């Protein structure tokens, strides 16, 4: 058994490639203190082996039984569990809650292709959504580069908000399961604040890269375990452009580094752009960028001075304020 949530689609793909029959349980909705969010999954193999979790352990046994039944009869089913406050602690909840789980059998060449495509998207750092009709089990795989029908648009919004769940479209109920890569955080300027920010962001699961052509700044000893680029920002960002899951923070205080990086970010769909500096420094920066053709609306995307206003003084405290603002933009204020 594996409890690594991100591994569930990969494990399902592997089992399908081996010719096994598989069923998938996915959290559709939660109420109260349910410990797993919508989109959490468990894969169950025909011999009862399973990977992942939909409740932290309190309902997995029943879900596995229902998954095996789904493999036998080929039918989807919805399960709902409720836990009263007085018994919640015994099953791992802080207090009472409810959880709704969708169980579906997945087998055959089409399922193998879809789950192989999910795995390939993960390896390529691409976002995809698997949309499943909860009545019929019909499914579709939708990528970020789409602006078509209502379902496509809903999938794109789910990618942007990093939020799986159910949605009603034209009389049909769809379960949208988002498979997003980690947040791509590009830090420009290997300064003291960057050292703390890179470490904290990595601990949050972000894919962190530090860009600075000054080799005396961007040293492995100062950024252990962090990806370093000694290219100029415009070169590094051209090779790996910011996307929907990208955040860029300019910290160098040097316009030769910060301005090209900010320009690249403004030309991208990055969800967060921040720049270190005082209000006066930022106002001057905006004038420079405006001279390069950026509108006031575009420049309003830059958080400057960067970070939430928490009275931060030390490099570590400033890093906390920046990471908190990135998290707020990602979770609370989606684009």
Give the model confidence (pLDDT) of 269-309 as tens digits. Answer: 999 999 999 999 999 999 999 999 999 999 999 999 999 99
Q: Does residue 36 contact residue 149 with C-beta atoms inside 8 Å?
A: no
Residues listed for the chain:
335
Q: What is the pLDDT of residue 146?
A: 65
For residue 115, give the nearest of 1, 245, 23 by alpha carbon: 23
138 has pLDDT over 80: yes
pLDDT of residue 35: 62
Cis preceding-peptide flag for 117 (omega within 30 of 0): no
Alpha-carbon dihedral of residues 157, 161, 165, 166, nearest 10 degrees? Answer: -30
Is 4 or 216 the better-scoring residue by pLDDT? 216
Asked whether residue 34 carries a pLDDT value surpassing 70, the answer given is no
Q: How confident is the model at residue 333 (pLDDT cuts 50, 70, 90)?
A: low
Greater confidence, 258 or 59?
258
Residue 6 has pLDDT above 70, yes or no: no
Q: What's residue 33's pLDDT? A: 59
* Confidence band of 87 (pLDDT split at 50, 70, 90): very low
| Averaged pLDDT of the chain | 89
- CA atoms within 13 Å, Cβ hemisphere of 97: 23
Which residues belong to CATH 3.40.50.720 in the chain? 184-331
pLDDT digits (tens, 9 = 90+) for 304-318: 999 999 999 999 999
pLDDT of residue 1: 37
| Token reading at 295 | 């509108």
Average pLDDT over residues 148-161: 89
CA atoms within 13 A on the CB side of 325: 26
| Mean pLDDT score, 168-180 | 94
Residue 132 clears pLDDT 80, i.e. is over it: yes
Does pLDDT of 94 surpass 60? Answer: no
In this model, does residue 335 exceed pLDDT 80? no
Measured CA to CA, the distance from residue 258 to residue 264 in angstroms comes to 10
pLDDT category of residue 208 using cuts at 50, 70 and 90: very high
DSSP classification of residue 37: -
- DSSP class of residue 182 equals P
Whether 134 shows a pLDDT value over 60: the answer reads yes
Instruction: Answer whether 11's CB lies under 8 Å from 43's CB.
Output: yes
The answer as to CATH 3.40.50.300 being correct for domain 184-331 is no
Measured from the Cβ of residue 239, the count of other Cβ atoms closer than 10 Å reads 9
The helix/strand/coil state of 302 is strand
Confidence band for 194, pLDDT divided at 50, 70 and 90:
very high
117 or 56: whose pLDDT is higher? Answer: 117
Among residues 10, 269, 328, 326, the alpha carbon closest in space to that of 144 is found at 269
How many C-alpha atoms does 106 have within 13 Å on its Cβ side? 32
């Amino acid at each position: 058994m594996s409890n690594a949530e991100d591994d569930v689609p990969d494990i399902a793909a592997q089992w399908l490639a081996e010719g096994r029959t598989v069923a998938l349980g996915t959290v559709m909705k939660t109420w109260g203190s349910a410990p797993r969010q919508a989109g959490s999954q468990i894969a169950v193999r025909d011999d009862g082996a399973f990977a992942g979790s939909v409740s932290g352990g309190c309902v997995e046994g029943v879900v596995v039984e229902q998954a095996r039944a789904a493999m036998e009869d080929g039918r989807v089913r919805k399960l709902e569990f409720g836990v009263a406050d007085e018994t919640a602690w015994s099953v791992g909840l802080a207090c009472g809650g409810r959880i709704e789980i969708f169980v579906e059998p997945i087998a055959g060449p089409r399922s193998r292709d879809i789950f192989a495509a999910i795995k390939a998207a993960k390896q390529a750092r691409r976002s995809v959504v698997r949309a499943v009709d909860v009545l019929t089990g019909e499914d579709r795989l939708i990528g970020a580069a789409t602006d078509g029908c209502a379902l496509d648009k809903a999938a794109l919004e789910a990618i942007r908000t990093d939020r799986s769940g159910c949605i009603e479209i034209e009389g049909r109920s769809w379960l949208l399961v988002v498979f997003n890569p980690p947040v791509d955080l590009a830090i420009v300027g290997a300064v003291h604040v960057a050292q703390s920010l890179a470490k904290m962001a990595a601990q949050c699961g972000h894919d962190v890269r530090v860009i600075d052509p000054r080799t005396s700044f961007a040293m492995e000893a100062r950024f252990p375990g962090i990806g370093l680029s000694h290219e100029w920002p415009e070169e590094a960002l051209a090779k790996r452009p910011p996307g929907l899951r990208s955040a860029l923070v300019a910290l160098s205080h040097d316009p030769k580094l910060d301005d090209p990086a900010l320009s690249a970010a403004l030309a991208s769909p990055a969800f967060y752009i921040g720049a270190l500096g005082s209000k006066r420094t930022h106002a001057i920066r905006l004038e420079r960028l405006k001279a390069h053709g950026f509108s006031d609306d575009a420049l309003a995307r830059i958080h400057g001075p960067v970070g939430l206003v928490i009275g931060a003084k030390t490099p570590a405290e400033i890093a906390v304020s920046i990471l908190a603002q990135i998290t707020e933009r990602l979770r609370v204020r989606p684009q």
